[in-house]
Amino acid sequence: MVVLGKDPLDIKRDVREGKITVAVYGMGRVGLPIAVAWLRAGAKVIGVDINHGLVEALNRGETILKDEPGINEGIQTGIKEKRFHATHDGIEASRASDVKIVVVATTLNTNKRIDNRSLVSATESIGRGLKQGDAVIVECTVPPLTTELLIKKVLEEKSGLKAEEEFALAYSPERIYEGRALRDIEENYPKVVGGVGPRSTEVVAALYECVARKGVIRLKRAREAEASKVFEGIYRDVNIALANELAKFCDSAGIDFMEARSAANSQPFCHLHLPGIGVGGLCIPIYPYFVTGVAEELGLEMNITRCARSVNEGMPEYTIDLLKKVLDKIGMKMDKAKVGVLGLSFRGDVSDIRQSPAIDFIKLIRGKVAAVRAYDPFVKAFEGIDTSEKLEDLLMWADVLVVATDHTAFKGIDLRGFGKALAVVDGRNVIDPLLLPKGSTYIGIGRPLSSILL
């Protein structure tokens, strides 16, 4: 089914009628929701992944995304209707599909530059199976200029076809929040599309208008679309760093940051973010380096971006300083303390532990304290870390608690009926100190020990 050069109305009809096959390269936390969104739009979908075990599980209708509504049901329905199957053969998937969506994980190498091996590998497979009239869409986050300078070159070399003339090529960033990925794709955000030329942009925009109910934002080129994605993450990273820096100032000055923040944010032009033990996941901690890497090649400095990343990367170490303050207050030496960590995932109500500041914190204190153990309602076990099955078990075992993840289960929890006083370092400012047992000690990031000692 040729899509390049086809009338947009015909493209939309073909998607609805199941005449277009979409191959999604990467069946992880982003790729699976994308696959389900296209299935729900009417397309046939091929899921591509190099993990043979994952491919076999998907073909049985099993997924690992228990915390993402609609995904299991979507894959199972697709299999039942014979509109979905998974494979590890990326070349054959390219031959069998009309639209190829690349959403493999993009991470950093040891030099804090993009590790594009998975991206190049997937692109090479697509190129070897690419046909005239097909469309290729990059959705994974990449440094600006990647689609035009790297992806286009690889596809043209492997296929012998010319982008924009013989196949469509565009960048369209995935925009999801874990725990509501499918709803974000279909309902919450408009789709951003930038092609390597106007024909590519229009073809891909027509395709995404079948999926995104908020419509499509068309940009001039792929590079603007790539920049829009990393700019979103950098904006958040910089503002979180500002909150962390102001919170540290409050700790030193004896000011309650949360109270000052609430008052400051009553002014409509102020939107101070929340401080915390760190910034995790495969998004915000990585995107700044995508831009600074390109900036270096262009001879530019990105001082604010680099400084923000440094501040946020230093927060697990700063939380150790708060731990020391609490231990001093209760008269316990660091090497004698049993530390209980509440949360292992990088943010609340998901099981994703990638780039988690909770893990970073545990690695930093291991060997400095007598013992460390964690409890997470979403992460029951993690290699190399002792865990408790129940929150109560951790509370009884620990000398001091460190809140590392803002799970709903931890927010405003009432522990006044607990049988002993608690020492708490609140790395997410989710515990209400007034709901702790009498005699407890509490400190939060930006909430000085001296002002809220119970």
Q: Which of 229, 363, 380, 390 is catalytic?
A: 229
Q: In what order do the strands lie in the sheet with 400-403?
A: 371-375, 338-342, 400-403, 423-426, 441-444
Eight-state DSSP code of residue 87: E
Hey, what are 312's tokens?
Answer: 């946020």
DSSP state of 68: S
CA distances from 174 to 33, 34, 229, 245, 338 (A): 10, 9, 8, 30, 41
- Which segments within 280-382 are labelled E, that is strand? 338-342, 371-375
Residue 82 has which token pair?
Answer: 């014979």
Active site includes 140?
no
Q: Of residues 283, 368, 380, 390, which has the active-site annotation?
A: 283
Q: Under the phi-then-psi rule, with left for phi > 0, alpha for psi from -120 to 50, and beta for the rest, what region is 446?
A: left
Give catalytic status of residue 229 as yes or no: yes
Nearest of 78, 88, 65, 90 to residue 37 by alpha carbon: 78
Element (DSSP H or E) covering residue 321: helix 315-330
Q: Are 135 and 203 in contact (CB under 8 A)?
A: yes
Instruction: Indicate the DSSP class of residue 88.
Output: S
CA 13 vs CA 6, 22, 51, 168, 208: distances in Å: 11, 15, 34, 19, 13
How far apart CA 391 and CA 214 sit, in angstroms, is 41
Active site residues: 229, 283
